[in-house]
Amino acid sequence: MSLDAGEAIGRSKGLPLAVQLLLALLAGAVYPLAFAPFDLIPLLGVSVALLLWLLLRAPAHGALLAWVFGLGKYAVGVSWIYVSIHQYGGAPPLLAFALVAVFVAFLALFCLPIGCIVGAMQRSPRNFSPLSLSMVFVAAWVLMEWLLTWLLTGFPWLFAGHAMLSTPLQGYAPVFGVLGVSLLVVACCAAGLLLLRGRLALYKRGMALLFVLAVFALGGLLDTRTWVEPVGRYSAALVQANIDQAVKWNADQRMVNVRKHLQLSQAHWDADLLVWPEFALTLYGDDAKQVTDQLQQQGQAQQTNIIIGMPDLHWLDQNSYQLFNSAQGFGLATGRFAKHHLVPFGDYVPLQDYLRGVIEFFDLPMSAASRGARQQDNIRLQLPGLEQSTEVAMGICYEIAYGDMLRRHAISSGVLLTISNDTWFGGSIGPHQHMQIARMRALENGRWLLRATNNGISAVVNERGEVQAKLPQSEAAVLRSEFAVVSGTTPYTTFGDWPVFALALIMLLTALSPLGHSRQG
């Protein structure tokens, strides 16, 4: 092995595997506490460094330790899924717990590449230094997060970079995106661990410290950089109707829901943009057309752009149809956008021939949605003072977590908009994490972001990812605020994640080269 007992970082004698697994579980469990709503950011450093320390001292159990770390990470971090399965899905507590446990165990598998790669390098006959192993650890972490953006539909949640909002490292987001911020923060955690290595030469400690200081200093400088220019400021009214999820889709409540949205909108037809959240309208066919015709006429009369969330039904023939989760423009706004990244069991049911009817959770309303096209035109707004219409980059509900998708739509847009319904998650930590992710999208693309939800968190976020205005959760109200339309693009909007992949590849090649074989670290 490349690291014997004298070389491993902080290696102690006689630490049983059970204790190592417990430490890995605890490291994973404290990791989500760095994210909203807790924002205990230093715990992310403790969590990541502890995982690396465990992997460096137990090469034979790297995969198991990484998976157990993932168990702790997701058991705490996505515990809010229990609310949707039990409270709104009708599953008994024991069954809901079992379903969440299966989901957590599955997500934890994405951590396996970290333990497998680092463990395999230590078991090889080549003598890789702790520095080389740390570099591979960082690259493997980025690989894990990248896989979470697409593999098996993906679940891009709890990325290390998301927790770096309001820190100097957020300055890298418009340049490298959230994956780049993750790479840098995990690299700083690894460098911090190397600083604690007992046998590390003094000058190498100095280099590790200098690296961390340089990363934070450059991030702070980049955070002062202006990437885009505003071309106009406009008023927005975001309707948060706080409709009870238990009755939202009931046939006798659908017009009641419409009237509530109309009542809340009554005093805000003078806004440049009026937004209703995801599935604010739950009507189909002629009933839906009557409402949208009214919105179209009202919007035209008041010279207002209107965007609402609603089902979009397309008949293929007399016996078959496609149903889309969509956002549609009325009044001065034109176009429609169909949700592309669908939520398993929320928007569609995998293996539905076997699962439909087993429990209420597998028969949730709108769980038979079709996937919108990957390439779609943006919705357009007609705003005063602008010669041409302005495009809106849309993200419906949790697909705001897919940074590359929103980046592609943001290239030609002047503002970002996301509509959502986080009612499924009650008063849990889920909506706060969702809001944090949305803020990262604004920062990455240098665009103001408007977020309209059924029961919160509805907010307006500026191009720096800072919340300018928001509504309390579980309150029926309208958020009236201003937003800016901007021109220009950030480096991330232009180039996407390719620079991060290149940097991760360079790290891997450097670690695997002869330079990485020194036993002196």
Q: Which residue numbers are catalytic?
A: 278, 339, 397
- Edge to edge, the sheet with strand 415-420 lists 379-381, 390-396, 415-420, 449-453, 459-461, 467-470
Torsions phi, psi of 16, nearest 5?
A: -65, 155
What is the C-alpha separation between 47 and 72, in angstroms, rounded?
11
What is the C-alpha separation between 397 and 44, in angstroms, rounded?
26
Which letter does DSSP use for residue 370 in this model? P
What is the C-alpha separation between 441 and 465, in angstroms, rounded?
8
Report whether 417 contacts 385 (CB < 8 A). no
| Six token digits for residue 24 | 């890995």
The shares of helix, strand and coil residues in the chain, as percent rounded to the nearest 5, are 50, 15, 35
**Nearest CA-CA partner of 404 in 149, 162, 169:** 149
467 three-state secondary structure: strand
Relative to beta strand 449-453, strand 459-461 is antiparallel
User: Could you tell me the sign of the dihedral formed by the alpha carbons of 463, 38, 211, 23, in that order?
Assistant: negative
User: Could you tell me the sign of the dihedral formed by the alpha carbons of 17, 18, 19, 22, in that order?
Assistant: positive
**Residue the block writes with tokens 């949730």:** 364
| Six token digits for residue 199 | 């046998």
Which segments within 365-504 are labelled E, that is strand? Answer: 379-381, 390-396, 415-420, 449-453, 459-461, 467-470, 477-487
**Nearest CA-CA partner of 458 in 241, 165, 232, 308:** 241
**Nearest CA-CA partner of 419 in 438, 404, 405, 436:** 438
**Residue the block writes with tokens 């980059």:** 393
Q: Exposure pattern of 30-60 as b/e (b: 16+ CB <10 Å)?
A: bbbbbbbeeeebebbbbbbbbbbbbbbbbbe
Which ranges constitute the DSSP H helices of 58-129? 62-77, 81-83, 93-108, 112-123
Chain Cα centroid distance, residue 29? 19
Contacts of 272 (CB under 8 A, 6+ apart): 234, 235, 236, 304, 305, 381, 383, 384
